[in-house]
Amino acid sequence: MRIIVQRSKESSVSVNNKLINKIDHGLVLLVGFTQNDTEKDLDYLVNKVINLRIFDDENHIMNKSILDTQGEILSISQFTLYADTKKGHRPSYIKALNGHEAIKLYELFNQKLNKYVKTYPGIFGADMQVNIHNDGPVTIILDSPNC
């Protein structure tokens, strides 16, 4: 499992020019799954995301988590995080988990996050337009131990 975490001032996701979800302050998560990902991977990364200290404290030092700042999460499924570009110029997505299995993990991941932080999903498998106002910019890559 792989997540690109971006600290955000405001972000949104739309499908067919229709706003699906938005956040004002928090994290945007681009989430991808691969073979052999399990619920343990979800739990590991939920813990990492909610406790990741990438928000400024009163001294402008990244020392606060999303829990401390009471922000929100915009979670976007993104199988392209497992693109393999070693051969040729067209990415291979063979390492990405199939959609039937990935949607189950994505929905469970969002449910687990939502226990701690208000989490808004995109639409799994849709052609989404994601507007990210990256704050900082702060971008962190997280991988589960399986990777």
Domain edges within the chain: 2-143
The pLDDT-based confidence of 102 (bands split at 50, 70, 90) is very high
- The answer, yes or no, to whether residue 73 has pLDDT greater than 80, is yes
| Terminal-residue alpha carbon distance, the chain | 7
Band the pLDDT of 145: cuts 50, 70, 90.
Answer: confident
State residue 45's pLDDT score.
98
Average pLDDT of the residues in 11-24: 98
As a whole number of Å, the CA-based R_g of the chain is 15
Distance CA 23, CA 3 (A): 18
Positions marked catalytic = 78-80
3-class DSSP state of 46: helix
Q: Which CATH class is domain 2-143?
A: alpha beta
Backbone angles phi, psi at 24, to 5 degrees: -100, -35
Q: What is the mean pLDDT of the chain?
A: 96
List CB contacts of 39: < 8 A, sequence separation 6 or more: 108
Phi, psi (degrees; rounded to nearest 5) at 66: -60, -30
Contact call for residues 36 and 143 (beta carbons, < 8 A): no
